[in-house]
Structure 1
Amino acid sequence: MYTTEINRLNDFYFKYLLGNEKRKNLTIHFLNAVLYGDETPHITDVSFIDKDKEPKQADGKLVKLDILARTDTGMLIDIEVQIQRHPHLAERFLYYWAEMYGGQLRRGDEYSALKPAVSIVLMDFDYLPEESWHNVYHICNDVSKQVLTHHFAMHFIELKKFRYSDIKSLHRLGKWTAYFSNCSAEETEELAMSDPIMKEVVNAEMAFTEDEIMRRQYTQREKALRDYRSDMAEARREGEQKGRREGEQKGRREGEQKGRREEKVSIAVNMLRLGIDVSHITAATGLSIADVELLKKLP
């Protein structure tokens, strides 16, 4: 009986599985599944662009381990896992895409040298308003929906929205999504039995769990992720507490100001009843002439 032992969304494991030259046939299968579904595969080869990123924290930010690949036609594809919400996610993804797309040109290159760039994001939470779990964004006309350029595409796979009843009947992308949804041990066995590629995926996972060095690096990455989440949660709590304290202080200040004004108004009313001149009342209370004249009209 197969037993799942790891978090498949751990980006160190994710990069081990889909960002390794030895297993690039799995990457090719995954990319074809995301971009073309069950159609005839369009991508026949990929090469990996190593960003030399280590699973450490720099300047308080957790370095993300994504996969950047170039297909045999020159298309650039960035694959990453997003396990928790952050402010301005859409803007961040667009910035990463822009870096990938703009980074193609060198001094003297023509724009014709640019190749399409695609971002693929697996998300472990609900993010988009659509009910569907796989959504693709392009640059297109608001009315006609005519695509301006095929050089931009952004795929979001929201794992929490994914539902299935029979693993064996899933299409290619469905099987990959079920796998990354951390399906049960029994379902993982069904996946392996239903598709030779998925069997190879499961075998790669088993080899990973049996490799002591890999497991240690995986554990370190899990710890870094836990520490990062803990630090972020603590920062949010401190921010909320500070906000409450500042709110309470502001409330006290406003209350004191209101109390002082009420006291001034009470003094002014009593002085008016004694027939004291408005100018003397404003000098004594600090209220404006308009305020005192208004008080004179009160019953």
Structure 2
Amino acid sequence: MKPEYLDLKVDFMFKQLFGQPSRKHITIAFLNDLLGRKGHNRIKDLQFINTEISKETKDGKTVRLDLAVLTENSENINVEILVINQHDLPERILYYWAKTYSSSIHSSDQYRKLRPTISISILNFSLFPTKTDDFHTIFHIREKSSHFLWSEQLEFHVFDLTSFVVKWRKYRRQLNDNKELPWLLMLTAVDYPENKLDDELMSELEEWAMNIEQVKEALIEWETISANKENRVIYEARAKELRDLLSNLEGERRLGREIGRAEKDYEYALKFMQEGLDLAFIEKMTGLPKEELLKLKKK
């Protein structure tokens, strides 16, 4: 019987595979490859830290991450995986980074004790669709003209899984020297709304697993946690929450577009009236009922 895999983009499953001390070696390999760490820069050890890094505040903002670790080199690494594009995401990512960074020292500590903090955002949508089609973008604060760093303490990584799949299908053989590729295949191989496995992506992932031990172990662990009955119950509940949230957001956006169109119709109707055009013509052009046009005319 063919194994069934649950979508790792659902945060519960992501935490099950990458957020458990018993699978720390998989998490280390995952982070090293996503961050492009090589040689002496590689992460050799880490400890998992509380993913809720600040208690509920008066403004109602609690920082909860999908994965938070502290490396042996005293680096904070935060990972968040999102399947739905909500409002003000760049500001939210910056806020989460700032909370993590500031919480790395106590009020009496010197600023030099602040830990380098790296934010990894794995998104099932494009955050900057008009600016880049790269699936991995890296951000620092640099001087505008000379481009030198303000500080090495800050680093943002954004992975766009939708752009990754497009690039992989088009240039797959050209990406084969990319160490992050098997992990991105793992994150995109299943689609949570239908829980449908992409055989083409999975076949490529299995090829990688034959040559990389940590990828092979991750694939085995993924199958194991997907088969767990208790995990499946929690997963289905969380997937339903995400589907409902997506439906609500789409409804809000649709309503916003409809309101925007209506406002535009009224704007055009007013201009037509100022030009002295016939009401019947305006009604035909804007779709606004005659009663509404008469009210508008009286204003």
Give the TM-score band, short-chain normalised.
0.7 to 0.9
CA distance in 2, matches of 1:40, 1:4: 38
Counterpart residue number, 2:17: 17
Counterpart residue number, 1:127: 127
Counterpart residue number, 1:233: 250
Do residues 244 (structure 1) and 267 (structure 2) align?
Answer: no
CA distance in 1, matches of 2:230, 2:205: 24
Instruction: Tell me the SS of whatever aligns to 1:149.
Output: coil
Residues 119 and 154 of structure 1 are in contact (CA less than 8 Å); yes or no, is this contact kept in structure 2? yes
CA distance in 2, matches of 1:166, 1:199: 20
Structure 2, unaligned stretches of length 5 or more? 54-58, 190-197, 278-299
CA distance in 1, matches of 2:123, 2:263: 35
Counterpart residue number, 2:51: 51
Counterpart residue number, 2:79: 79
Residues 167 and 191 of structure 1 are in contact (CA less than 8 Å); yes or no, is this contact kept in structure 2? no
Cα shift readout 1:114-166 (whole Å, capped 9, x = no counterpart): 01000011122233423432221111122222112110000112223332535
Residues 1:146 and 1:4: Cα distance change in structure 2 (over 3 Å): farther
Residues 1:65 and 1:50: Cα distance change in structure 2 (over 3 Å): same
Counterpart residue number, 1:200: 217
CA distance in 2, matches of 1:143, 1:253: 48
CA distance in 2, matches of 1:235, 1:175: 36
Instruction: Tell me the SS of whatever aligns to 2:184.
Output: helix
Counterpart residue number, 2:155: 153
Q: How does 1:1-299 map to 2 (within 5 A)?
A: 3-40=3-40, 42-51=42-51, 65-128=65-128, 129-162=131-164, 163=168, 164-166=171-173, 169-182=176-189, 184=199, 185-249=202-266
Task: Select between 113-122 and 90-99 the one with higher mean Cα deviation.
Answer: 90-99
Q: Which amino acid aligns with 1:192?
A: A
Measure how far apart 1:196 and its partner are. 0.9
Residues 1:170 and 1:8: Cα distance change in structure 2 (over 3 Å): farther
Residues 1:24 and 1:167: Cα distance change in structure 2 (over 3 Å): farther
The percent of aligned pairs where both chains have the same amino acid is 30
Residues 168 and 191 of structure 1 are in contact (CA less than 8 Å); yes or no, is this contact kept in structure 2? no
CA distance in 1, matches of 2:52, 2:79: 15
CA distance in 1, matches of 2:183, 2:39: 16
CA distance in 1, matches of 2:41, 2:21: 19
CA distance in 1, matches of 2:35, 2:24: 16
Structure 1, unaligned stretches of length 5 or more? 54-58, 261-299
Residues 1:36 and 1:245: Cα distance change in structure 2 (over 3 Å): closer
CA distance in 1, matches of 2:79, 2:223: 22
* Alignment TM-score, normalising by the size of structure 2: 0.74
Number of matched pairs: 254
